C-alpha cells in the first residue's frame, strides 16, 4: 500500500505546474546567450518591484499615468532582449525552454508569423475565463532575440493604446499583399 501512496503523491506532484512565468528570468539557456550578446536588456520586475516602480511614476506625465494604469494588477513583467554581432549566434533549441513554459495548460498560441527576412514572431496568451491572464511574446530575428512575458491580467488593447506614446510607433495599417497587388494592377 505504501508504494501506491508514494506513486500517487509523485503523480500529483509531477502533474502540478513545475514552473511559473517568472522562471523566464532564470532560464540557463538565456543566461548563456546573454554572455555572447553584444547588448542585452534584462528586466525582472515581480509584484513588489512593480509596486515600487509604479509609486515613482509621475502624475504630471500622461504617458507614465497610462503605464501605471496598465500595470496596476500585474504580478510580474520579464523582458530578455539580446542583440548579437552576427547571425547564427542562437538557434531554436535556445528558445525551446521558453516555448516549454507556454505549452502548459491554459496557454494558447494566438499568433505565429514567419517572414521571408527570417523574422519570426509568436504571441501566446493565458486565458482566465474571459480575461487575458498573461502574455508571452517570442520574437526572433537573425541577430536579435526578444522575449517578453507579462504575468497577470492585462488588456492587450490598453497596451495597444500606448501606440504613439513612450516612443512606441503608432500602428499605421500597412498594405497587405492583396492590397499591394491590386494597386499595381490599377497602374
Partner 1 sequence: MKGEDERLAATATTNAAGVRETAGLPNFAEVVDRHKAMVFSILWHYLRDRTAAEEVAQDVFLELHRSWDAMKSAEHIVFWLRRVTSHRAIDCARRKRLHLETSLEATAEPTALERVHDSFLSSYLERMVASLPEKQRIVIVLRYQEGLELEQIADVLGIKISTVKTQIFRGLELLRAKTAQRLGRTVE
Partner 2 sequence: MTPFEEQLKQAMARREPAEDFARRVLERADREGGQQAESGGRRVGGKRVWFSALSGWFHSPRVLRFSAAAALLAVSGGVVFQQHEQSERGEAAKEKLLTAVRIAGVKLRQVHRHVLEVETPEVEQ
C-alpha cell at 169: 510607433
Q: Identify the residue among 41, 52, 104, 113 touching partner 1 (CB under 8 A).
A: 41
Q: Identify the residue among 31, 39, 96, 128 touching partner 1 (CB under 8 A).
A: 39
Are 98 and 147 in contact by the 8 Å Cβ rule? The answer is yes
Place of cell 499595381: 184
Of 44, 42, 40, nearest in space to 20 by CA: 44
- Residue 38 found at the interface with partner 1 (CB under 8 A): yes
DSSP characters over 87-146:
TTSS-HHHHHHHHHHTTSTTEEEEEEEE-TTS-EEEEEEEEETTEEEEEEEEEEETTEEE
Are 72 and 65 in contact by the 8 Å Cβ rule? The answer is no
Q: Identify the residue among 14, 116, 130, 187 touching partner 2 (CB under 8 A).
A: 116
38 binds, among partner 1, partner 2, none (CB under 5 to 8 A by kind): partner 1
Footprint of partner 2 (CB under 8 A): 41, 43, 45, 49-50, 52-57, 64, 67, 70-71, 77-79, 81, 109-116, 119, 121, 123, 135, 137, 139, 146, 148, 150, 156, 159-160, 162-163, 166-169, 171, 173-177
Footprint of partner 1 (CB under 8 A): 38-42, 81, 83, 166-168
Amino acid at each position: 500500500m505504501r508504494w501506491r501512496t508514494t506513486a500517487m503523491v509523485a503523480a500529483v506532484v509531477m502533474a502540478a505546474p513545475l514552473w511559473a512565468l517568472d522562471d523566464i528570468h532564470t532560464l540557463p539557456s538565456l543566461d548563456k546567450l546573454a554572455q555572447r550578446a553584444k547588448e542585452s536588456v534584462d528586466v525582472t520586475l515581480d509584484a513588489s518591484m512593480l509596486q515600487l516602480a509604479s509609486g515613482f511614476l509621475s502624475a504630471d506625465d500622461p504617458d507614465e499615468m497610462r503605464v501605471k494604469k496598465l500595470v496596476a494588477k500585474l504580478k510580474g513583467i520579464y523582458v530578455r532582449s539580446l542583440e548579437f554581432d552576427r547571425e547564427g549566434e542562437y538557434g531554436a533549441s535556445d528558445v525551446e525552454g521558453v516555448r516549454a513554459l507556454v505549452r502548459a495548460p491554459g496557454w494558447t498560441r494566438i499568433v505565429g508569423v514567419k517572414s521571408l527576412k527570417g523574422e519570426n514572431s509568436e504571441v501566446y496568451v493565458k486565458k482566465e475565463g474571459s480575461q487575458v491572464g498573461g502574455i508571452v511574446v517570442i520574437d526572433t530575428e537573425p541577430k536579435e532575440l526578444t522575449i517578453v512575458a507579462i504575468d497577470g491580467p492585462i488588456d492587450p488593447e490598453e497596451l495597444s493604446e500606448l501606440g504613439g506614446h513612450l516612443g512606441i510607433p503608432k500602428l499605421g495599417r500597412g498594405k497587405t499583399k492583396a492590397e499591394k497587388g491590386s494597386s499595381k494592377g490599377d497602374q
